[in-house]
Homo-oligomer: A and B are copies of this chain.
Amino acid sequence: MKINLDRYRIRPGKRPDLKRRASADTQGLDEKGDADSVEEQLAEYRDRLADLQERLYAERKQSLLVVLQAMDAAGKDSTVEHVFGSMNPVNVRVWSFKKPTQKELDHDFLWRVHKQAPGAGYVGVFNRSHYEDVLIVKVHGWADKDAIERRYEHINHFEALLADRGTRVLKIMLHVSKDYQLERFRRRLRKPNKHWKFNPADLTERALWEQYQDAFEIALERTSTKAAPWYVVPSEERWFRNLAISQLLVSTLEEMNPRFPPPDFDPADYPPEAIE
């Protein structure tokens, strides 16, 4: 059960048309009819990820950074829970970037994210990221146009620096439609236990949907690079989103091909039954 991920990958320098990109695509798979094989496939990915993760940790040379961006209520937290929640927490760290603090604002916009870049052997997950500084900041005009313009280049240089030290950078936009978001907001309002996730300001942002989509398109165009590609993953069908992202993680880690390091002792000197 292979998903064609290439379809979701943004070519460097090519501006995607988000409106024309499916947000509910499942590549012909069907939640009900294929439920068993989806479950099986996810279980297989979990096993492969566990092995790859252990190798990454043991090797201690490379890192993986996954950036999650999306419109509000598109499922970032749910992706963290369901996809990254199936990984071993020993070398996975999730960082949720909220409104910057004064201290963070006293620095360049990459300062706070750089501090949380995953070290060798680790998988870092950014739930929101430095991309907010070319999304919400751009939409609201909180920085001037020239400054925003320069940020795309700063981002590319920053990500190239990470790549140069052995960090694979994988950027995922969880793609949903405006109607879908409305449905999710309504769901939050219907359930008192989800009220904490709702903020009236979310509706103000929602009113700027088109501007956000524009800002996303430009960011994707300008910062999808060979070393740090963007994927626009259809995310309205959550099981499909989980499946697609799991496959992406497995194939990325397989490409990175982490290996158990040679022991720093001669095994011949330590026959298991002879130690005491």
Binding site for B on A (CB under 8 A): 58, 77, 80-81, 84-85, 87-90, 92-94, 96, 125, 127, 182, 185-187, 189-190, 192-193, 195-200, 203, 260-261, 263-265, 267, 269-273, 275-276
Give me 13 other A-B pairs in contact (C-beta within 8 A), A85-B88, A192-B267, A195-B267 excluded: A80-B90, A81-B89, A93-B94, A182-B275, A186-B275, A187-B272, A189-B270, A189-B275, A192-B260, A195-B260, A196-B260, A196-B263, A198-B265
Task: Please determine whether A265 and B200 come into contact, CB atoms closer than 8 angstroms.
Answer: yes
Task: Please determine whether A261 and B182 come into contact, CB atoms closer than 8 angstroms.
Answer: no
Shortest CB-to-CB span from A272 to chain B, Å, is 4
Q: Is the interface of A mostly helix, strand, loop or mixed?
A: helix
Task: Please determine whether A94 and B85 come into contact, CB atoms closer than 8 angstroms.
Answer: no
Which one of B89, B193, B197 lies within 8 Å of A94 (CB-CB)? B89
Complexed CA–CA distance, A157 and B92 (Å): 31
Please give, as numbers and ranges, the residues of chain B lying within 8 Å of A182 by CB-CB distance: 275-276
27 pairs, CB–CB < 8 Å, chain A vs chain B: A77-B90, A80-B89, A81-B88, A81-B89, A84-B89, A85-B88, A87-B89, A89-B92, A89-B125, A90-B127, A93-B93, A93-B94, A182-B275, A182-B276, A185-B272, A185-B275, A186-B273, A187-B272, A189-B271, A192-B267, A193-B260, A195-B260, A195-B267, A198-B263, A198-B270, A199-B264, A203-B275
